[in-house]
Amino acid sequence: MFDLEEAIAKWREDMRGAGMTRPEVLDELEGHLREDYQRRLRDGAEERLAFDAAIQKIGRPAALQKEFDKIAVFNWFTFASDAFLSFAGIPKRRLVSGVNDAADQSGPGWAAYVRAIFFIAPTLAAWCLAEIFVVPQVNAIWRKDLVMTLGANTSFDHVRHLDHAISSLISTNFLWIVAVVALCLGLMEWRVKFWPRYRRVFLGCTVFTLNVAFLVSLFIQFLAAALAASWLVHLTK
Amino acid sequence: MITKELVAASAEPLILSLLAKGESYGYAIIQEIKKLSGEKIEWTDGMLYPVLHRLEDRGLVQSRWAEAENGRKRKYYSLKVNGKKALQKQREQWLTVHGTLAKLWEEKYV
């Protein structure tokens, strides 16, 4: 049995998911949708078909948002969040997977996990190799007294120390962390009803953030290695 | 059917011309344009609203919420003085284009 109010609530949710959050705009579009729906019913269409045709005629949420974006006033927060989402591989403002949106190609749930693993694997591998082969060597060289003696930048020393502490915590508990994350994701898949709608954006943003964190950590370690090497050369002279 | 580019370019003068006849709202504007064009001008319905909002931001039209005959609230748009001036300018431009094309096609086929 078709429920118009429920269908409209769902449509509004999809519109909000595409970034159309202004209630006044949604009210106006909803009024249009209702009128078109009623006209189609009068023309003899079946309820569900009339509604589907009306939402198709009003346009895809993402395309509508794009048009409204053209008249929007520039906002730094919106710009920054859009930039973050774009780098995370999430099309602009497509924060949820729209059920009524024919262009939605987010694919099955497992594909999101495969993509996430594929995108994080190279950085994670590089970080693990650095933790095994580079970091112990740097730590052996990078002694506090050496740093003080040579007048090295103490703020960088603090940053390196913090990075080393966090990296050690992760590497020593790596398997536990992986197990807890897998358990949480499993629970979300099993118990949380709205999870499939937010799965892609959550995984995308998490992978992007972790990639950035791993790369920053790698950069700090390699910078420390380069500085330590130059000090060793200085000492041998 | 009119091309997408021409539909986009003509949206503003069409809306302004229609509102010059009196206050109206989104759905009615679309139906009226469809009828007047013999169903040759086909808008994606939702695309009308960004144009209306842009016209409102530019101070060419104004809007108000009022209760419709079905009891639900509806947003009505009407032309402002600046809108009438803008329409006059656009009218001159479109008539120039139309006149030029008409002369060219007249010469070609005479």
B73-79 sheet: strands from edge to edge: B24-25, B73-79, B61-67
Residues of A in contact with B24 (CB under 8 A): none
Using the predicted structure, report yes or no on whether residue B100 has a pLDDT greater than 80.
Answer: yes
Q: What is the pLDDT of residue A38?
A: 92
The model's confidence at residue A149, banded by pLDDT at 50, 70 and 90, is: low
- A31–B50 CB contact, under 8 Å: no
- Give the pair of three-digit tokens for residue A208: 């992007």
For residues A97 and A114, give the distance between their C-alpha atoms in angstroms, rounded to a whole number.
17
Q: What is the pLDDT of residue A73?
A: 66
Report how many domains make up chain B: 1
Tell me which H or E stretch contains B47.
none
The model's confidence at residue A116, banded by pLDDT at 50, 70 and 90, is: confident
- Give the pair of three-digit tokens for residue B94: 């479109």
ipTM of the complex: 0.87
Using the predicted structure, report yes or no on whether residue A31 has a pLDDT greater than 70.
Answer: yes
Which residues span the domain enclosing B94?
A: 4-109
User: Residues A200-225: pLDDT tens digits?
Assistant: 888 888 888 898 988 898 888 888 87
Cβ–Cβ < 8 Å for B65, B26: no
- Give the pair of three-digit tokens for residue A89: 């591989």
Task: Note whether A15 contacts B: Cβ–Cβ < 8 A.
Answer: no
User: Residues B15-62: pLDDT tens digits?
Assistant: 999 999 999 999 999 999 989 988 888 888 888 999 999 999 889 999
Residues of B in contact with A25 (CB under 8 A): 49, 53
CATH number of B26's domain: 1.10.10.10
* Burial zone of B52 (CB within 10 Å; 0-12 exposed, 13-18 middle, 19+ buried): buried
